[in-house]
Amino acid sequence: MAQNREYFLRKMHSLLGVIPVGLFIIVHFGVNYFSTRGEAEYNQAVNFMENLPFRYTMEIFIIFLPILFHAIYGIYIAFQARHNTNNFSYFRNWMFRFQRISGIIVLIFMAWHVWETRIAAAMGQEVNFDMMANIVENPVALIAYIIGIVSTTFHFANGLWSFGITWGITVSPRSQQISTYVTLGVFLALTYVGVASILAFV
Amino acid sequence: MSEKTIRLIITRQKDQDGKSYKEEFELPYRENMNVISALMEIRRNPYNAQGEETTAVSWEASCLEEVCGACSMVINGKPRQSCTALVDQLEQPIRLEPMRTFPVVRDLVVDRSRMFDSLKRVKAWVPIDGTYDLGPGPRMPEAKRQWAYELSKCMTCGVCLEACPNVNDKSEFIGPAALSQVRLFNAHPTGAMHKAERLNTLMDGDGGLSNCGNSQNCVQACPKGIPLTTSIAALNRDTTLQSFKNFFGSDNNF
Ligand code: HEM
Ligand code: SF4
Ligand code: FES
């Protein structure tokens, strides 16, 4: 371990992006989708999540710490690149660039989102349908939410594609091509779920 | 005499620490010129487009048939070999720049030492030295030899490093070329005897295999069509297994 610290950190960064953070995002989006079924069902779902056993332990170890590590190390990785899409305007080079841009957007969005919801809740505000409805009443906030959601789904889906390579799952060009289509599907599906959920509050 | 001329804009630099500047040249057109012959013309007649006498532009070349890699430079924004860059196929003015991923020695000449150091770091050779004759090594299946031949075409030209957004002054990343060589030598029946050692060098220290961010520019840029991104993914698989063996212990770890 002493010698291969960087290798270990990179592999951790990759793993944590999918397990648990990616899985958390899927659950989070899934629960949010209750908003499309109306206020009562949404509040019930939120209530269920809020009262899960081991809530704080899970929040810390499945959500907070993994995201914190992935985000901090992710910023370090992102600023190591010198982008050259001007001269090499290939699809994958653009995805490489967008992966880094979307990571930064997700970071900013998430800080704001957590401040307005989770921190507010910790300060005693009740989390429910009205809370979100009040936030997205402001069209600027709604647009920020949509940008944040799409950045997250892109970052996760494209990250899933490179995760396959990082762990040596998709080795051949053909497997990577198929993986591009599969992760595109993941992106479209999650984006639909996310955007439909937020629009339901409007 | 034909009126036709070709125009070049060359990014020049006097020495390692010199400031870079652009100089324009206009040369009489000849048929079937490549960038090297244009540079030779400047050397013969070192006057710039303004008609002022200037120093001849420095550049490197050796094989003139795209197998040595020495003549690599950035031509119209893309790194490639100048010996196979045909003037008739290039948009004018032709812009020549050094591959600035490497230290510029002078004008278009760069120092690619880091690539050769990388080959040493990953032990990109088949060790056969011993105190006695080891005899002939195991045979390689013909189909595998043909596959390995493609990987062995690398001429250490540096184009893939120049194309990679993660190879730069802010990162230690070793770059695609040396990585793919590890795959080549690990596939060799005698080279495979040091497989674990080579894989460990890719995981040790900073700037190893895991620094790849999958922009996949390298595979598009490589003039030899080497499947660099396939090599990188295959090495990711090998190092993942190797790291598990290292961590959990294995009775089959070499
Ligand atoms: C909070 C701010 C975040 C930043 C700054 C960030 C940054 C990055 C960067 C720079 C990469 C590229 C790594 C590479 O290619 O070597 C990356 C990969 C990845 N990210 Fe994030 N990220 C963030 C949040 C997230 C979130 C919320 C998720 C989950 C939905 C996520 C999932 C992933 C995945 C799966 C990968 C691919 C890992 C791999 O290539 O093996 N990231 N992240
Ligand atoms: S892999 Fe291709 S681009 Fe890279 S150094 Fe070798 S020949 Fe040049
Ligand atoms: S001179 Fe050898 S590759 Fe161009």
C-alpha B230 to ligand 1 mean position (Å): 22
Task: Write the CATH number for A91.
Answer: 1.20.1300.10
Residues B235, B185: Cα–Cα separation, whole Å: 12
Residues A133, A143: Cα–Cα separation, whole Å: 14
C-alpha B91 to ligand 3 mean position (Å): 21
Residues of A within 8 A of B209 (CB-CB) are 7
B229 touches chain A (CB under 8 A): yes
List average pLDDT for each run of 10 residues in chain A, which is 202 residues long.
86 97 97 97 96 96 97 97 97 98 98 95 92 96 98 98 98 98 98 98 93
- For the cut 80, the answer to whether the pLDDT of residue B2 exceeds it is no
Average confidence (pLDDT) over B153-178: 97
Number of separate domains in chain A: 1
**Could you tell me the strand order of the sheet in which B21-28 lies?**
B21-28, B5-12, B94-97, B72-75, B78-81
Read off the tokens for B18: 């010199």
User: CB–CB of B71/B62 below 8 Å?
Assistant: yes
A92–B233: do the CB atoms touch at under 8 Å?
no
> Residue B40's beta-bridge partner residues?
none
B103 touches chain A (CB under 8 A): no
- Surface of B (171-200) touching A: CB under 8 A: 171, 200
Reported ipTM:
0.94
Q: What is each CA distance from B245 to B48, B138, B197, B239, in whole angstroms?
A: 62, 26, 13, 9
Read off the tokens for B147: 């596959």
- For the cut 80, the answer to whether the pLDDT of residue B99 exceeds it is yes
The residue among B7, B5, B32, B37 whose CA lies nearest residue B89 is B32
- Give residue B122's identity as a one-letter amino acid code: V
Ligand 2, closest atom to CA B115? 5
**A43 CB burial (10 A radius; 0-12, 13-18, 19+):** middle
pLDDT in tens, B179-194: 999 999 999 999 999 9
- For the cut 80, the answer to whether the pLDDT of residue B32 exceeds it is yes
Q: Choose the closest CB to A93 out of B77, B211, B215.
A: B215
Q: Is A113 in the pocket of ligand 1 (CB under 6 A)?
A: no
**Could you give the domains of chain B?**
5-110 (3.10.20.30), 113-248 (1.10.1060.10)
Average confidence (pLDDT) over B62-86: 97
B229–A4: do the CB atoms touch at under 8 Å?
no
pLDDT at A2: 61
Q: Choose the closest CB to B240 out of A77, A93, A168.
A: A168
pTM, whole model, 2 decimals?
0.94
A165–B214: do the CB atoms touch at under 8 Å?
yes
pLDDT at B127: 86
- For the cut 70, the answer to whether the pLDDT of residue B1 exceeds it is no
**What 8-state DSSP symbol labels residue A59?**
I
The residue among B177, B181, B184 whose CA lies nearest residue B161 is B177
- The upper half-sphere exposure of residue B14, i.e. CA atoms within 13 Å in the direction of its Cβ, equals 4
Residues of A within 8 A of B168 (CB-CB) are 80-82
pLDDT at B136: 84
C-alpha B81 to ligand 2 mean position (Å): 11
Q: Choose the closest CB to A81 out of B207, B213, B241.
A: B213
| B149 three-class SS | helix
| B3 three-class SS | coil
C-alpha B223 to ligand 2 mean position (Å): 7
Residues spanned by the domain of A75: 5-199
B168–A77: do the CB atoms touch at under 8 Å?
no
B215–A92: do the CB atoms touch at under 8 Å?
yes
pLDDT at B198: 96
Taking the CA of residue A137 and the nearest CA in chain B, the distance in Å comes to 39
Q: Choose the closest CB to B217 out of A6, A88, A172.
A: A88
Q: What angle do CA A127, A25, A7 make, to 5 degrees?
A: 135
A172 touches chain B (CB under 8 A): yes
